Amino acid sequence: MKLFAQTQLLEDVQGKGLCVGCGACVDLCPYFTTYRGKTAMLFPCDRETGRCFAYCPKAEVDYDEVYKARTGRAFDGTPIGPHLETYKAKAGEKTAECTFQCGGTVTALISCALDNKMISGAVLTDSEGRMPKPRLVRTSEQARDCAGSKYSASPTLSVVNQEAKRGVRNMGVVATPCQALAISQMKMNPTDKPDFEDPVSLVIGLFCTWALDARKLEALLAEKGIEGKIIKADVPPPPAEVFVVETDQGTVEIPLAEVREIIPEGCSICPDMTSELADVSVGQVEGDAGFNTLIIRTQKGAELVKTAISQGYLVTETLDGDKVHNLATASANKKKRALAKAKEMGLLNTPDEEGRAAMRVSEGALNKIQP
Amino acid sequence: MGTATLTKDPYNLIITGVGGQGNVLASRVLGNLLSDKGFSITIGETFGASQRGGSVMSHMRISAGESWSPQIPKGQADMVVALEPIEALRVLHTYGHPGVKVISNTRSIYPVGVISGDSKYPSMDELQKTIEGLTEQAWFINATDAAMELGNPIFGNIMMVGALAKTGVLPIDRDGFEKVMLRTMGEKKTPVNLKAFDMGAEMIN
Amino acid sequence: MSQLYEGKKGEKVLFMGNQAIARGALEAGVSVAAGYPGTPSSEIIENLADVSKDANMYVEWSTNEKIAVEVAAAASFAGLRSICVMKQNGVNVASDFLLHLVLSGTRGGMVLIPCDDPGALSSINEGEARQFARLLEIPLVEAGDFQEAKDMLKWAFELSEEIQNLVMFRSVTRLSHASGSVELGEIPQTEPKAQFNYKGFILDPVEGPVVSVPVEYRHGLQQEKLKKAEALFEESPFNTYAGPENPEVLVITSSGATLYSREAIHLCNAKDKVGLLKLGTTFPLPTKLIAKHLKTTDKILVVEEVLPFMEENLKVLAQELAPEVGQKTFYGKRSGNIPQTGELNPDLVAAALAGILGQTYAPQDQEYQTKAAQQAFFNAPVRDLTFCPGCPHRASFWSIHNVLAADNRDGFVCGDIGCYSMAFLPCGFSSLKTLHAMGSGTGVASGFGKLGQFGLDQPVVSVCGDSTFFHSGMPALVNAIHHKSDITMVILDNSGTGMTGFQSHPGLPVDAQGNESPALDIPTICRALGATVEVCDPFYPHKTQQTFHKLLEMPGVKVLIMRQICALSPEKKGKKQYEMSVDETICMGENCGCNKLCTRVFRCPGLRWDEEKKTATIDEVICAGCGMCAAICPSGAITRKEVA
Ligand SMILES: Cc1cc2nc3c(=O)[nH]c(=O)nc-3n(C[C@H](O)[C@H](O)[C@H](O)COP(=O)(O)OP(=O)(O)OC[C@H]3O[C@@H](n4cnc5c(N)ncnc54)[C@H](O)[C@@H]3O)c2cc1C
Ligand SMILES: Cc1ncc(C[n+]2csc(CCOP(=O)(O)OP(=O)(O)O)c2C)c(N)n1
Ligand code: SF4
Ligand code: SF4
Ligand code: SF4
Ligand code: SF4
């Protein structure tokens, strides 16, 4: 891993507008913070190597190295990444009802992990007003408070850093793909300090095509005159082409074309749709709003799912082949678009003499993805 | 005027230090003491913004006759009393000459630039050598640490006055000092200041 | 104990210029003295306030300089002698009233004492009060040494009463803040009675109402008064000449430059060929006296600080007098011999004089100079200005900086005047982005806060000290509220006028003379004006930042009062609240996760970086024990223990 620090992070990520506000660089030290969905530098730091740069999913990510460290396999460009099994799933009766985004699989798995003390706590994303608000939860009841997707990019990992600093270990995290990537880089402990050992033991990844700029989304909702408390936001599968916002005062649809305007630039170079570096990944199921697509990727993930099923937290069914096929196509398309964009920006496999890259991908993977 | 005479007229004394070290008080005490002896004194001082962590300097002109400008001409200091060692060097740069003498405190006060790591503070050895190389005679005393024994680093300024008296370059005596202290500080504060004066004098040999 | 009041006639004492001026006021029998603090003027009022009860005086720190002049004028209208004292900037503030006062005229002697700061040693401008004497058409007198500082003030009162108008007595830093020998005079033991007469005819200068109309009539009268002053100046003992009868070069000087000029002649060894005409009365110039001296020589060097005020007035006179005295060559500012900016010193004057005499002036041994310069460069690191150890402003700007940076909308701070002006430097995390006159921070912010109409979407913040708030911050706040400007005003309330030496102000329960007085409560005032108000303690940065963030999100005018007493205040000075220490085993030092936040960024002078151990340490000689560094250390390495 090429190690740099704040100066380069500011230049490569903030400076190029690629920050997605994931929170990986936040609260490691006094120099980065997050406020109302935006990551900010407070004071310059003159270190030559540091975790902020090392963890950032948009700066010098060597995909082979990260994938090998996390999954034991190089990054080969397979559409939905390394995995063991795929299912259709939803919360079982042991998981109390609440407003799940889809089938409640995520909340079910987190509840199971917490109740069985497989993790010490879980870093989830709640909301405060119209801003995403990450927090560490200790109980399944608290986990239910965090159910539902906040379509804003959230600085979830800042809470991982805060809690790690306090000495919390063995955390579970519900992460978007960029966050799962950042966590994988944390796990590699690139600066080799015992204090900075991996604080995360379980990653539940979310599918993600894009997130939205939190401040801009807030402004857009205000502009659309949307008032009241948001109960749920959703992007129904094609061909709907709308962003649906349900509040306690009614439901409003905003054309996706308008919403796409407020996607952070950084999302456009993200090649991962299914959180390939998570233990399990969860997303929607096309045309089946009460269920989730569930991808089991690691042994740990498989054990969690097994426990959840056996204890009644989760129920699974088989996922139709055409659904898997469509998912793979969508994933492959995201990879293709992202790599093409990175290449266009000069950020893909940038030769040393020309500067730093956002991502480094092997020849083989490139051949497969065909950006 | 009494029997006291000056080795040079005007005798140019600079007291330098950092804001908050009691520079002004030291120059006032000396000024009053020498004024009591009938000398004509002019003191030039900088206050205000320069006190906030900056360098401060008092110029004292001591003369049997007329009053001189509150700023000493370049290269014409006869004695520099420095409450902080790099301030001695800074003064020598502008007001020094091969015949100048220096009494310097050895306790450093770091400029913010040094604290922040933007600049470096020299080692005390290096600093002493440098000052010695720019003076006819130099004395180094740790007035601040001695003052801490008296319970407050602020007494460092009076120790420097005592040290200056002991060098004999100016007609400064303990009685005169006591008189000024009683007049300006009152009876309560005089004994500890006399103690500081004596401790300062003892450090010169 | 105080020689200022107790000192007997004939006694010789060492006085600071401002003490000499204060003694002059006592010897002149001044009854009322009013002023607003400002370096280098403050000690005049301070010294008078100390003896005011013994001397049967009324002394006040007024809310601002305009009010100070008004208060002093009232005394004059009632037949008493009064002075008003201020830093040069204060004259700008007071100028509107002054321009009317000089038309209406005065009754009891009244002297305006502005102290200028050539070289801006303690200022952020180099403005001059002398120019106001011309604008106001009033006599200007300037002392050339400490004795004169006392004696001329007394004389200025006689002059004021003679012409029944205000007289300006100007001082400069190097006089006000320098000390020299002064022989004392008598302090009169009188009991003046105040009575304001207004029943006479409107044009009656002693019995009528005091007004500036009819303007043309009064303006004419005022100019006659000035003529009368000029006539008196011809005989003034404060214009002196020393030197040969027909000097090769005549140096004309005044004020602080007098001592430099005298020394410069000495440095050039030119006593026998250079004459020194020192003027105590610099506006209007005494024509006959000038004519007499112009006749004696062809070369004239005018030595004065900053702008060529005397030089230009002299040139006008010389032109008028040319038929009588002949054509002269002037050296000074316009010829480039004397700089037009910065303060003078003996060397600068000596160099100018030597140049005119065809000599060279080499003040320092070249070899020594080169060596010393080199050594100083390498071994005497620059001492930048910074907030004191334990200063609440450092803590306040820490939060202000962090909040605006986190907020991430390019918010900015409009600065104001006080110790906190230094926040444009790294010690205040370079927070201030505009910095002008007292009260201007909030005024400028009020304007910025209305630019939303044109797309300005940056948060606008102003800072204002507690003394500045009363001085001129309040009208700016009123303006912002009335116009629904979107600003957050941070009032840095350190319980006193910090920069100038902790003078009282209307927010404090005590006045200049030490009397108990009603303290005006800043939060109550701001609330009554209609602002949303919060109060916090900057030594609790977390809470402070939360509150500040909250206010920043709100529209309209918000006031955040950051309240914590100045580290140099009499209550706090020298007393540590906490004993501080750094746990070396916990300190992260240069490692990722801290990288010397306390020394590299926070920069309190009480901290040090131990290059060998690679940890931070506390410099117990300097540390004021405020505890703030413990609150910011990311690892909890800095600990504080309450001092019993
Ligand atoms: C920004 C975003 C984009 C998405 N895009 C797609 C997509 O294109 N296709 C698709 O199939 N699925 C997408 N999803 C996933 C989908 O919306 C559901 O989150 C997922 O199906 C799990 O549903 P569930 O019922 O199990 O969730 P729940 O049981 O309701 O739990 C939701 C969990 O998501 C976490 N969460 C909420 N918002 C965020 C956030 N902004 N960042 C990190 N964690 C968060 C919460 O902490 C909670 O634990 C996206 C999710 C997000 C947050
Ligand atoms: C018109 C004017 N008058 C006086 C001054 C001198 N002056 C500079 S700073 C200051 C004190 C301001 O006090 P405060 O606002 O309480 O701030 P602090 O110094 O205590 O931080 C004064 C009076 C000035 N610069 N301008
Ligand atoms: S993308 Fe994440 S890690 Fe990178 S700069 Fe933004 S918040 Fe920090
Ligand atoms: S301390 Fe470490 S994480 Fe923080 S800015 Fe510096 S290098 Fe980055
Ligand atoms: S802020 Fe704390 S951890 Fe960092 S260098 Fe200072 S004492 Fe050490
Ligand atoms: S406690 Fe810390 S911040 Fe306060 S004066 Fe001491 S070193 Fe400075």
Question: What does the pLDDT read at residue A192?
Answer: 67
Provide the pLDDT confidence category of residue B4 given band limits of 50, 70 and 90.
confident
Q: Which residues contact C411 (CB under 8 A, 6 or more apart)?
A: C404, C458, C459, C460, C461, C552
Collapse the DSSP code of C396 into the 3-class scheme (helix H, G, I; strand E, B; otherwise coil) and give the result.
Answer: helix
Question: In Å, what is the CA distance from C571 to each residue of A89, B154, C494?
Answer: 69, 17, 12
pLDDT in tens, C104-125: 999 999 999 999 999 998 899 9
Residue after which a domain boundary falls, among C563, C591, C617: C563
Ligand 4 atom with the shortest distance to the CA of A49? 7
Q: Is C625 in the pocket of ligand 6 (CB under 6 A)?
A: yes
Q: Specify the pLDDT at position C363.
A: 84
Residue nearest (by alpha carbon) to ligand 3 atom 2: A22
Same domain, C295 and C170: no
Closest CA to C532 of C508, C556, C549, C512: C556
**A208 touches ligand 3 (CB under 6 Å):** no
> In total, how many domains does chain C have?
4
Domain boundary among C563, C598, C614: C563
**A267 close to A57: Cβ distance less than 8 angstroms:** no
Q: Chain C window 564-623: which residues touch A at a Cβ cutoff of 8 Å?
A: 590-595, 597, 600-601
Contact C369, B124 (CB under 8 A): no
Considering only CB atoms, C592 lies closest to which of A36, A47, A165, namely A47
What ipTM was estimated for this complex?
0.95
- Least CA distance to A191: which residue of chain C? C592
Q: Which ligand is nearest to the CA of C617?
A: 5
Flag if A30 and C429 touch (Cβ within 8 Å). Answer: no
- Please spell the DSSP secondary structure of C250-302, one letter per residue: EEEEETTHHHHHHHHHHHTT-TTTEEEEEESEEES--HHHHHHHHTT-SEEEE
Q: Among the atoms of ligand 5, which is closest to the Cα of residue C597? A: 1
Q: What is the pLDDT of residue B66?
A: 83
Instruction: List ligand 4's pocket residues with C-beta within 6 A.
Output: A 5-6, 28-29, 31, 45, 47, 50-52; C 592-593, 595
CB contact under 8 A, A30 and C407: no
Do residues C487 and C387 make contact, with C-beta atoms less than 8 angstroms apart?
no
Amino acid letter at C171?
S
A96 and A220 part of one domain: no
Residue nearest to atom 20 of ligand 2 (CA): C498
Out of A10, A26, A47, A189, give the residue to mutate to test ligand 4, the one with the largest number of ligand atoms within 8 Å of its CB.
A47
Q: Are residues C82 and C153 in the same domain?
A: yes
Contacts with A19 from chain C: Cβ below 8 Å: none
Q: Among A201, A234, A260, which residue terminates a domain?
A: A260
Q: Where are the beta strands (DSSP E) in A76-120?
A: 85-91
CA distance linking residue B85 with residue C103, whole number of Å: 56
Contact (CB<8Å) A51/C593 = yes
Cα C544 vs. chain centroid, distance in angstroms?
32
Q: A168 with A231, same domain? A: no
User: Which atom of ligand 6 is the closest one to the Cα of C640?
Assistant: 1
pLDDT digits (tens, 9 = 90+) for C495-526: 999 999 899 999 999 999 999 999 999 999 99
Contacts of B109 in chain C (CB under 8 A): 605, 619, 621-622
Residue B50: the pLDDT is 57
In this model, does residue B1 exceed pLDDT 50? Answer: no
Q: Quick one: pLDDT at residue A238?
A: 81
Flag whether pLDDT at B3 surpasses 80: no
Is position A1 within any domain? Answer: no
Cα–Cα distance list, A151 to A208, B131, C188, C381, C457 (Å): 10, 68, 84, 53, 25
Cα of C589 vs centre of ligand 5, distance in Å, is 5
Given an 8 Å threshold on Cβ–Cβ distance, is C385 in contact with B52? Answer: yes
Q: For residues C555 and A3, what is the distance between their CA atoms, to the nearest angstrom? A: 43
> C340: which 2 tokens?
């037009």
Q: Following CA atoms C426, C427, C428, C430 in sequence, which dihedral angle do they give, to the nearest 10 degrees?
A: -10
Q: Is the bond preceding residue A177 a cis peptide, omega within 30 degrees?
A: no
In terms of domains, do C77 and C197 share one? yes
Choose the final residue of a domain: C333, C357, C381: C357
Nearest chain C CA: its distance from A89 CA (Å): 40
Within C326-448, residue ranges assigned H as helices are 346-357, 366-379, 392-407, 440-448
Residue C391 CA to ligand 6 centre (angstroms) = 9
Residues C250 and C334 occupy one common structural domain:
yes
For residue C571, how many other CB atoms are within 10 A of its CB?
Answer: 10
Identify the closest residue of chain B to C180 by CA–CA distance.
Answer: B42
Number of H helices, E strands in chain B: 8, 6
Which residue in chain C has the smallest CA separation from A33?
C406
Q: What is the pLDDT of residues C244-286, one digit of tens each?
A: 999 999 999 999 999 999 999 999 999 999 999 999 999 999 9
Q: Do A177 and A301 have their domain in common? A: yes
Mean pLDDT (whole number) for B160-173: 97
Any A CB within 8 A of C550 CB: no
Report pLDDT digits (tens) over B84-130. Answer: 999 999 999 999 999 999 999 999 999 999 999 999 999 999 999 99
Interface residues of chain A, partner chain C, Cβ below 8 Å: 5, 28-31, 33-36, 38, 40-43, 45-47, 49-52, 165, 191, 193, 195-196
State the smallest CA–CA distance between residue B4 and chain C in angstroms: 18
Q: Do C595 and A38 touch (CB under 8 A)?
A: no
Neighbours of C295 (CB within 10 A): 13
Same-domain status, A138 and A272: yes
- Quick check: C338 and C322 in contact, CB under 8 A? no
Which pLDDT score is estimated for B47? 58
Over residues A227-266, the pLDDT tens digits come to 989 999 999 888 889 999 999 999 999 999 999 999 999 9
Q: Which of C456, C440, C423, C452 is nearest to C489 (CA)?
A: C440
Are B41 and C179 in contact (CB < 8 Å)? yes
Q: Which of A14, A25, A156 best tests ligand 3's pocket when mutated (most atoms within 8 Å of CB)?
A: A25
Q: Are residues A83 and A232 in the same domain?
A: no
Ligand 1: centre distance to CA B203 (Å): 76
The domain B11-202 is classified under which CATH number: 3.40.920.10, 3.30.1490.190, 3.40.50.720, 3.40.50.2000?
A: 3.40.920.10
Considering the domain architecture, whether residues C323 and C413 belong to the same structural domain is answered as no
Is the residue at C383 inside a domain?
A: no
Contacts of residue C336, Cβ cutoff 8 Å, sequence gap at least 6: none
Pair A349, A289 in one domain? yes
**Touching B: which chains, 3+ CB pairs < 8 A?**
C
Contact between chains at C382 and B148 (C-beta distance less than 8 A):
no
Residue A307 lies in a domain: yes
Q: Which of B28, B53, B55 sits opposite C386 (nearest CB)?
A: B53
CB contact under 8 A, C595 and A47: yes
With bands split at pLDDT 50, 70 and 90, how would you rate the model's confidence at B19? confident
Q: Which of A255, A254, A256, A233 is nearest to A245 (CA)?
A: A233
* Alpha helix positions (H), C64-211: 65-77, 88-104, 130-136, 146-163, 173-176
Three-state DSSP at C159 gives: helix
Both tokens of residue A280?
A: 């399990």
Q: Which residues of chain A have pLDDT under 70?
A: 192
Same domain, A226 and A365: no
Q: Across the interface, do B70 and C180 touch by the CB < 8 Å criterion?
A: yes
Taking the CA of residue B162 and the nearest CA in chain C, the distance in Å comes to 21
C 550-589 residues with CB < 8 A to B? 574
pLDDT at B49 over 80: no
Looking from the CA of residue C605, the nearest atom of ligand 6 is: 8
- Identify whether the C-beta of residue B62 lies closer than 8 Å to the C-beta of residue B13: yes
The total number of structural domains that make up chain A: 2
pLDDT digits (tens, 9 = 90+) for C237-248: 999 999 999 999
Residues with Cβ within 8 Å of A185's Cβ and at least 6 positions away in sequence, in order, are: A1, A24, A54, A55, A56, A57, A61, A66
Residues of B in contact with C382 (CB under 8 A): 111, 113, 119
Tokens of C269: 């060894």
Q: CB distance C121–B49 less than 8 Å? A: yes
Residue whose CA lies nearest to ligand 2 atom number 22: C38
**In terms of domains, do A219 and A254 share one?**
yes
The predicted model gives C75-82 an average pLDDT of 98
Ligand whose nearest atom lies closest to the CA of C93: 2
State the pLDDT at residue C331: 98
User: Does C123 share its domain with C208?
Assistant: yes
CA C427 to centroid of ligand 2, rounded, Å: 18
User: Taking all residues of chain C, what is their mean pLDDT, rounded to a whole number?
Assistant: 96
Q: Are residues C184 and C251 in the same domain?
A: no
Residue in B92, B103, B195 with CA at minimum distance from that of residue B140? B103
Pocket of ligand 5 contains residue C589 by CB under 6 Å: yes
For residue B149, the distance in angstroms to the closest alpha carbon of chain C comes to 12
Nearest in space to C333 (alpha carbons), one of C354, C358, C302, C357: C302
Quick check: C106 and C164 in contact, CB under 8 A? yes
Give me chain B's average pLDDT, please. 93
**Which residue, of A202, A229, A260, is where some domain finishes?**
A260
Instruction: Tell me if chain B has a CB within 8 Å of the CB of C430.
Output: no
Span C229-233, mean pLDDT?
98
In a shared domain, residues A155 and A290: yes
Measured from the Cα of C589, ligand 5's closest atom is: 5
Helix, strand, or coil (residue C29):
coil
Range of the domain at C585: 578-642
Question: Nearest CA to CA, how far is C14 from chain A (Å)?
Answer: 50
Please check whether residues A195 and A180 belong to one and the same domain: yes
Q: Provide the residue range defining the domain that includes A236.
A: 214-260
CB contact under 8 A, C599 and B42: no
Write the CB contacts of C75 (distance below 8 Å, at least 6 apart in sequence). Answer: C31, C32, C58, C81, C82, C108, C110, C194
Ligand 4 center to A92 CA (angstroms)? 43
Q: Assess contact for C249 and C301: CB atoms under 8 A.
A: yes
CA–CA dist C80, C108 (Å, integer)? 5
Distance from CA of C408 to the nearest CA of A (A): 6
For residues A145 and A122, give the distance between their C-alpha atoms in angstroms, rounded to a whole number: 12
| Ligand 2 centroid – CA C511 distance (Å) | 17
C457-495, pLDDT tens digit by residue?
999 999 999 999 999 999 999 999 999 999 999 999 999
Pair (A194, A254) in one structural domain: no
Instruction: Output the domain CATH number for residue C88.
Output: 3.40.50.970
